[in-house]
């Protein structure tokens, strides 16, 4: 019996040691405010490498700190010939964790992102894959498809709700039941803490940073780091991030209230 118990412990220990997590992230409208559904802004914003979705760099850094051996992949449909230098500068300027940047070689590559994700998963063989994208283009469908194709992998899928599905001109996609919508780096951080991929200490430190930065963010600037850009319609968002331990923080509650007011929502509010 003792041998059986020690054998099970050894197997369990090995599985923990070799557990592997990867993070695959889109760039435009996910970590960078690009406004891709607007033709004018989509043409202008590639040059603005400071258009950070405020706090996303810190969130990714927290994932890397909690999982030092985790690999990060920045996979975007943007054309390599046009956007490679800009995206590299954006990631470097805003101090995102180092990772592999994958861009589309040609306009003829209609299935570039799903193909690239399959390649990454086949090579990395992760136990957990964190997928982060937005609802402006095809991330919702691509992430759901790749999840269905790899049932052996634990997928954590988060979608930045930069657009509303009810908008006539800039229509956002609707997330699936397995995907979590987020509207700021704050609620994303709380969702990641829930799944154990960022630490509680890093989360609490982030909340302090975020609430101070958000207090100084007017939300009406054209360029630069912004929590929720003025053009975004985040009315599809429903707050589901667990935050019971933060309800005594006046700064946190003020930030959360401001998010709800900005997105004109009440569902999920305490």
Tell me, what's the pLDDT at 261? 93
Q: What is the pLDDT of residue 12?
A: 44
Per-residue pLDDT tens digits for 21-71: 999 999 999 999 999 999 999 999 888 999 999 999 999 999 999 999 999
Whole-number pLDDT of residue 14: 43
How far, in Å, are 64, 189, 194, 206 from residue 250 at the CA level?
Answer: 29, 19, 22, 15
- The whole-angstrom separation of Cα 223 and Cα 106 is 29
- Per-residue pLDDT band for 268 (boundaries 50, 70, 90) equals very low
State pLDDT tens for residues 187-215: 999 999 999 999 999 999 999 999 999 98
- Please answer whether residues 33 and 45 qualify as being in contact, where contact means their C-beta atoms are separated by less than 8 angstroms: yes
Cα 172 to Cα 233: distance, rounded to the nearest angstrom: 9
The 10s digit of each residue's pLDDT in 114-140 is 999 999 999 999 999 999 999 999 999
Place of tokens 């049932």: 151
In the block, which residue shows the tokens 């991330």? 139
pTM of the predicted model as reported, rounded to 2 decimal places: 0.91
SS3 assignment for 34-85: CCCCCHHHHHHHHHCCCCEECCHHHHHHHHHHHCCCCEEEEEEEEEHHHHHH
Strand order in the sheet with 128-134: 100-104, 71-79, 21-25, 128-134, 154-160, 180-182
Whole-number pLDDT of residue 218: 74
Query: What value does the mean pLDDT take over residues 66-89?
Result: 95
The band of 15, judged by pLDDT with boundaries at 50, 70 and 90, is very low
pLDDT of residue 2 exceeding 70, the answer is no
Rounded to whole angstroms, how far apart are CA atoms 132 and 125?
A: 18
pLDDT at res. 270: 43
pLDDT at 18: 61
User: Whole-angstrom Cα distance, residue 206 to residue 246?
Assistant: 12
Share of the chain above pLDDT 90, in %: 81
Greatest extent of the chain over all pairs of C-alpha atoms, in Å: 70
Give the residue-averaged pLDDT of 206-225: 86
pLDDT band at 167 (very low <50, low <70, confident <90, very high): very high
């Amino acid at each position: 019996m003792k041998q059986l118990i020690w054998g099970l412990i050894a197997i369990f220990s090995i599985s923990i040691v070799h557990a592997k997590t990867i993070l695959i992230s889109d760039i435009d409208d996910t970590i960078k405010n690009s406004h891709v559904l607007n033709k004018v802004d989509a043409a202008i914003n590639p040059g603005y490498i400071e258009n950070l979705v405020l706090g996303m760099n810190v969130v990714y850094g927290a994932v890397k700190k909690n999982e030092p051996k985790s690999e990060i992949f920045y996979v975007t449909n943007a054309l390599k010939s046009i956007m490679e230098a800009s995206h590299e500068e954006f990631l470097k300027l805003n101090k995102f964790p180092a990772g592999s940047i994958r861009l589309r070689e040609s306009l003829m590559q209609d299935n570039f992102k799903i193909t690239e994700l399959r390649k990454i998963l086949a090579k990395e063989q992760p136990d957990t894959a964190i997928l982060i994208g937005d609802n402006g283009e095809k991330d919702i469908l691509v992430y759901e498809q790749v999840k269905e194709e790899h049932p052996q992998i634990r997928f954590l899928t988060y979608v930045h709700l930069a657009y509303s599905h009810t908008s006539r001109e800039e229509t956002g996609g609707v997330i699936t039941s397995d995907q979590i919508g987020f509207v700021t780096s704050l609620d994303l951080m709380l969702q990641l803490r829930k799944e154990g991929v960022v630490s509680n200490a890093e989360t609490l430190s982030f909340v302090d940073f975020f609430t101070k930065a958000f207090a100084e963010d007017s939300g009406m600037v054209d360029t630069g780091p912004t929590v929720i850009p003025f053009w975004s319609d985040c009315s599809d968002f429903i707050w589901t991030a667990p935050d019971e331990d933060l309800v005594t923080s006046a700064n946190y509650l003020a930030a959360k209230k401001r998010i709800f007011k900005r997105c004109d929502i009440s569902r999920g509010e305490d």
